[in-house]
Amino acid sequence: MGTVGQNDKKWPLRRVRIGLAALVLATLAPSCGPADPEAASAGRRQPLKAPPARALDAYATKLRAAHTARVAAARHWGLKRVPLTAPPPPAKKPRITTRDGFEVDGHRRLGLPPVFTTVPTERKVVFLTIDDGAEKDPAFLRMMNELRVPYSAFLSDYLVEEDYAYFEKMRDSGAGLHNHTLRHPYLPGLSYARQKREICGMQKVMEKRYGERPALFRPPYGNYNKDTLRAAKSCGIAYVPLWNAEVFADHWDYREWDRSLHPGDIVLTHFRGREDWNGSMPDMIRRFLDKVTAEGYAVARLEDYL
């Protein structure tokens, strides 16, 4: 993808039509049997006719309009390049297991939710996750909607309750909303019963306010013990995603020694603004997208891989 305002403006319609016709033919060929009996008896397929040119024209026009909108949005929000579009969700979901060294005693035997920092995939995708819910910046919602960037939010009720409607807008735009406890405590310092109240209590809030109990849970600060995972499982949690990199408005932090992004990495950030950061949430998203796009990564939806 070229720099915004240069190569992105040039997208010949004829090339799109040809590509779409080839894609449709390739999709239909394996599933359509021969219509001619003689061809069938000879084991031959009848040639497939190309889809109507008018339908391809309409679809190509729709794609061009969507791309043009993304180019305009990237320019409006000050991005260096148009964000790459993620590939379709995998037909076969990757098997998620707990990262080495992140297990608790009896993890597999007890069937506890896997704790992981990266999704196993060879695709050049990363996943954006945002924690807590303190900053409720309308500009952030507009930016993400206009750029069509997927993300997942892990929410704590003591912050979200200030404006439940803000996160309803987030959900309605396609973001995944998940559990980050009621009051964001250091969970290993609590008893099993108190941990369960924090996690199950947030499940009830999420169901009441947003219509469903999430399957994903992130412990505050990334800290957990065996009781945390036992409580999470009892509350209906299936996955405990942590993170492999963290982005702020003015810098990145990394878990790995090579200080680089890798396919399937989960990236953490927070709902924070100028009171806490040297910049706004749009500034943080700009830094995030400029880096991942420059390195050839697209931002995918975490829930599509689980």
Among 17-31, 57-71, 132-146, which range has the highest average pLDDT? Answer: 132-146
**Res 45: pLDDT:** 52
Q: Count other Cβ atoms within 10 Å, centred on residue 61.
A: 13
CATH fold of the domain at 115-305: TIM Barrel (3.20.20)
Residues 37-50: pLDDT tens digits?
A: 444 444 455 555 55
pTM across the whole model: 0.81
Domain ranges of the chain: 7-76, 115-305
Residues 74-108: pLDDT tens digits?
A: 999 999 999 999 999 999 999 999 999 999 999 99
Residues 255-273: pLDDT tens digits?
A: 999 999 999 999 999 999 9
Is the pLDDT score of 56 beyond 90? no
Cα 265 to chain center, whole Å? Answer: 11
CB 2 within 8 A of CB 79: no
Of 175, 207, 145, 202, the residue nearest 302 (C-alpha): 175
Is the pLDDT score of 157 beyond 50? yes
**Res 47: pLDDT:** 56
Reported as a pLDDT band with limits 50, 70 and 90, residue 156 is very high
**Res 234: pLDDT:** 98
Of 170, 302, 191, 175, the residue nearest 242 (C-alpha): 302
